[in-house]
Amino acid sequence: MSPSTIDYPDVFVSEFRGVRSLHLASEINADTSCAPIQGSMRLAVPDQIELEYVQQMNLWMLFDMLPKHIVQLGLGAASLTKFCYRHFPDALVTAVDLNPKVIAMCREQFKLPPDDDRLRVLDMDAFDFVRNRARHGTVDVIQVDLYDAEADGPVLDSPEFYEACAACLTPEGMMTVNLFANDVQRRKNIEAMQEYFDVVVWLPEVHDANVVAIAFKTAPEIDFEILYQRAAILRVNYKLQAPVWVNGLKAWMLREED
C-alpha cells in the first residue's frame, strides 16, 4: 500500500485556558474530549515547551550543547522541533512523522516554520528513516515520541528499531524516548535499548504516566556538580526545569548502586 492510499487518523485541536493541544481521532476516541493529547502549545509563548515530559526530552542538553544534527521521530505538536530550530541555529533539525495531517496541522495551528536549509519535516515512517544506512553515524541526538491515536504504548518498541536508532547516532550520540506505557511495556523498551546503548537512564514518572529515558551510545563521565551548573543555565536561558532532571539522574544512580 502506498503512503497516499493509507487512511491516516484525523487531527483536531482543542484549547483550554490559553493552551492549544493536538489530538488524533479514532474509533476508541469517538468522544474527542477524551482523546489523548499528542502535544500542546501555550498561545502567549508558542516557542516555549509547555508539557513537562516534553521538556525532559531535552535532557541531552546537559551533555551536549553543540549538536550538528537533531532528529525528532514523531512530530506531536512540533514543540521539540520548534525549540531545537530556534535554539540551535548551527544544527540541522529533521522531524519525521507518518501522518501528513499532523504535519499540516502543525504548520497551520502550531507555528511550525516552513522547511529551509536547516529544517526538514519528512512525511515517512520512522523505522524506514533510521534503518536507511545512508543516515548511519550522522545524527547527534534522536528524540523519540511515537504514539498512535490510542496512545497504548510506543508504536515502535522492538530491539530492531532501537538497534537502527543506535546505528544512526555518532559515537557520542544520545537518544531520548518518551515511555508513556504500563510497567511491562516500559521494561520491554528499556531492555531493548540496553542491548544497543552503553547506558540507559530514566527519570521519575511525571504527569499521566510519562517516563522519559535517555540512552547513551557511549557511557558519559558524570560529574553532578557540573551537571547542576549546566542545569541552572538551562533553567535561566531556556526556561527548562533542568535542575529537577539532575535530581532524577542522581536518584537513578543511587538506586542502581543499592
CA distance 56 to 234: 12
Q: Please give the pLDDT value at position 152.
A: 59
Q: What is the pLDDT of residue 83?
A: 96
**What pTM was estimated for this model as a whole?**
0.91
- pLDDT tens column, 9-54: 788 889 899 999 988 886 554 555 557 787 888 999 998 999 899 9
Alpha-carbon span 213 to 190, nearest angstrom:
8
Mean pLDDT computed over 219-233: 95
- 34 vs 248, which has greater pLDDT? 248
Cell digits for 223? 560529574
pLDDT in tens, 88-143: 999 999 999 999 999 999 999 999 999 999 999 999 999 999 999 999 999 999 99
Q: What is the pLDDT of residues 129-182, one digit of tens each?
A: 999 999 999 999 999 998 755 555 677 889 999 999 999 999 999 999 999 878
Q: According to the model, what pLDDT value does residue 2 have?
A: 43
- In whole angstroms, give the CA distance from residue 196 to residue 163: 6
